[in-house]
């Protein structure tokens, strides 16, 4: 049994507070509201991990912060870098011992576009939706992550890049990248199942006085929770939306994604159409390619027919499945090419996600699965 000291439980995680909330928190303690901006600067621009470095705050306030507040405490239990060092995955232990994964993906500059550093963020420990090809889905649901636990994952990699900027190998003249440019809610868990904490974290990371990451550099990926997609379309913060589609018929989707029984394709597509009408933004449809299951020319044709009416507002991201303990395999290059060409014939724009980080268990949930398995086998 683990006993958490009550003092830690009472501490306020500052990474969970928006700037106005931090101002209020300080005012409630008799402090001046302007201190909040100073603290925000320390947290999100200087990337401080300790109150003692916040030298423009009075000593008494620093002491009080140390006693009453925390800065997203998490322990890195394991860290893996891919051979090319462009994919770095960490296993984080939360205050209650739960384990989650976060990934940093580094992309060299391409043509006119600048290099990118994308953090793949977890929104829950485990997941309640049980997709058959997903390692996280096979764990079941532990709990929602708090806002601060979501923000802290991004800050971890921001600090790492600040300390050691990354230069693409083979491009010695290119500018090193020293900050996080994008975040994707594609780690463990279903972000729209933890709607409030996820949106709060995105608002905090978007704050110009703080981390200042543009909404267009944030992507929320969902299994297809229809009411939450509708709610998201009304948010002032216009993030990118990705829908995990993975099958073009209810029959097939019911088999691989149990959520489809609750929100079948017709309802999901209707919500996407309304989202597009409300936001005028393109939606990405993720399609994990499972050889012999959903990658046949017939399914490509059905997918093309399903999405063609969305015209330029739909983009399909074909993702060859990362092998998990389930027996799915990724299709070969010929099958992928045929699948994509069929989509093009329907006028549906699409791309294929380059496989990366396979050597470090890239698909989320796999590192934790491996870690727990090896711990079980080595435990007395
Ligand atoms: N719960 C959300 C976000 C997390 S999963 C969602 O499902 O969208 C992020 C993406 O990884 C989803 O598109 C998901 O279907 C995909 N994914 C899950 N398991 C995978 C695997 N084994 N190989 C490749 N992609 C996988
Ligand atoms: Fe959950 Fe997404 Fe995995 Fe499905 S794919 S089980 S929704 S994390």
* C-beta 288 within 6 A of ligand 1: yes
Residue among 277, 274, 294 at smallest CA distance from 226: 274
Probe residue for ligand 1, chosen from 126, 186, 360 as the CB with the greatest number of ligand atoms within 8 Å = 186
Is the CB of 244 within 6 Å of ligand 1? yes
Between the CA of 140 and the centroid of ligand 1 the distance, in Å, is: 15
**Which of 363, 367, 369 most suits a substitution to test ligand 1, by most atoms within 8 Å of the C-beta?**
363
- Report the 10 Å Cβ neighbour count for 351: 12
Please report the atom of ligand 1 found closest to the CA of residue 189.
Answer: 1
Distance between CA atoms of residues 187 and 242, nearest Å: 13
Considering only CA atoms, which residue is closest to atom 24 of ligand 1? 321
Q: Which of 31, 101, 149, 286 is catalytic?
A: 101
Q: Is the CB–ligand 2 distance for residue 120 below 6 Å?
A: no
Ligand 1 center from residue 26 Cα (angstroms): 40
Residue whose CB lies within 8 A of the most ligand 2 atoms, among 124, 219, 244, 369, for a mutation test: 244
> What is the CA(208)–ligand 1 centre distance, in A?
30
Token pair belonging to 217: 């550099």
- Cα–ligand 1 centroid distance for 186 (angstroms): 7
Measure CA 145 to chain center.
12
Q: Using a 6 Å cutoff on CB, does residue 221 contact ligand 1?
A: yes
Close Cβ partners of 266 (under 8 Å, ≥ 6 residues apart) = none
Annotated active-site residue in 120, 127, 318, 364: 364
| Structure tokens given for 218 | 């944030």
**Torsion on CA atoms 54, 59, 61, 63, rounded to nearest 10:** 90
Q: Whole-prediction pTM value?
A: 0.93
Ligand 1, atom 9: closest residue by C-alpha: 186
Ligand 1 contacts CB of residue 219 (under 6 A): no
By CB atoms closer than 10 A (0-12, 13-18, 19+), residue 306 is buried
Beta strands in 134-258 (DSSP E): 141-144, 182-185, 218-222, 240-244
What separation in Å is there between the alpha carbon of 302 and the centre of ligand 1?
21
The answer to whether 273 touches 253, Cβ cutoff 8 Å, is no
Distance from C-alpha of 102 to C-alpha of 123, rounded to nearest angstrom: 10
Quick check: is 101 catalytic? yes
Q: Give catalytic status of residue 364 as yes or no.
A: yes
pLDDT of residue 367: 56
Q: Which of 222, 191, 218 is nearest to 207 (CA)?
A: 218
Query: Residues of the chain whose pLDDT is less than 70?
Result: 1-9, 171-173, 325, 355-380
**344 contacts 350 by C-beta, under 8 angstroms:** yes
Instruction: Report whether 137 contacts 366 (CB < 8 A).
Output: no
Q: HEC string of 259-305?
A: HHHCCCHHHHHHHHHHHHHHHCCCEEEEEEECCCCCCCHHHHHHHHH
pLDDT of residue 376: 46
């Amino acid at each position: 049994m683990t006993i958490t000291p009550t003092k830690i439980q009472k501490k306020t995680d500052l990474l969970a507070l928006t700037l106005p909330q931090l101002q209020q928190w300080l005012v409630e303690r008799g402090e001046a509201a302007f201190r909040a901006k100073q603290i925000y600067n320390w947290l999100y621009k200087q990337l401080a991990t300790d109150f003692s470095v916040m030298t423009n705050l009075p000593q008494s306030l620093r002491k009080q912060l140390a006693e009453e507040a925390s800065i997203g405490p998490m322990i890195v239990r394991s860290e893996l870098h891919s051979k090319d060092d462009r994919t770095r995955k960490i296993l984080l232990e939360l205050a209650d011992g739960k384990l989650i994964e976060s990934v940093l993906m580094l992309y060299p500059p391409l043509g006119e576009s600048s290099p990118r550093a994308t953090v793949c963020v977890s929104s829950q420990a485990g997941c309640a939706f049980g997709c058959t090809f997903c390692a996280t889905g096979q764990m079941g649901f532990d709990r929602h992550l708090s806002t601060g636990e979501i923000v802290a994952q991004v800050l971890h990699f921001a600090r790492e890049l600040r300390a050691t900027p990354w230069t693409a190998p083979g491009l010695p003249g290119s500018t090193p990248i020293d900050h996080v440019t994008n975040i994707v809610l594609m780690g463990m868990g279903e972000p729209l199942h933890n709607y409030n904490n996820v949106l709060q974290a995105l608002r905090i990371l978007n704050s110009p006085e703080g981390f200042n990451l543009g909404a267009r550099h944030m992507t929320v990926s969902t299994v297809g929770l229809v009411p939450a997609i509708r709610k998201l379309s009304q948010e002032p913060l216009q993030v990118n939306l990705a829908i995990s589609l993975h099958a073009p018929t209810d029959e097939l989707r019911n088999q691989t994604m149990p959520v489809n029984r609750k929100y079948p394709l017709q309802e999901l597509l209707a919500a996407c159409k309304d989202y597009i009408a409300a936001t005028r933004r393109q939606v990405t449809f993720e399609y994990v390619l499972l050889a012999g299951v959903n990658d046949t020319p017939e399914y490509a044709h059905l997918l093309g027919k399903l999405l063609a009416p969305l015209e330029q507002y739909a983009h399909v991201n074909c993702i060859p499945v990362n092998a998990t303990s389930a027996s799915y395999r990724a299709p070969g290059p010929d099958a992928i090419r045929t699948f994509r060409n069929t989509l093009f014939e329907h006028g549906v724009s699409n791309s294929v996600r380059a496989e990366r980080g396979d050597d470090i268990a890239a698909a989320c949930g796999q590192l934790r699965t491996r870690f727990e398995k090896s711990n079980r086998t080595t435990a007395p």
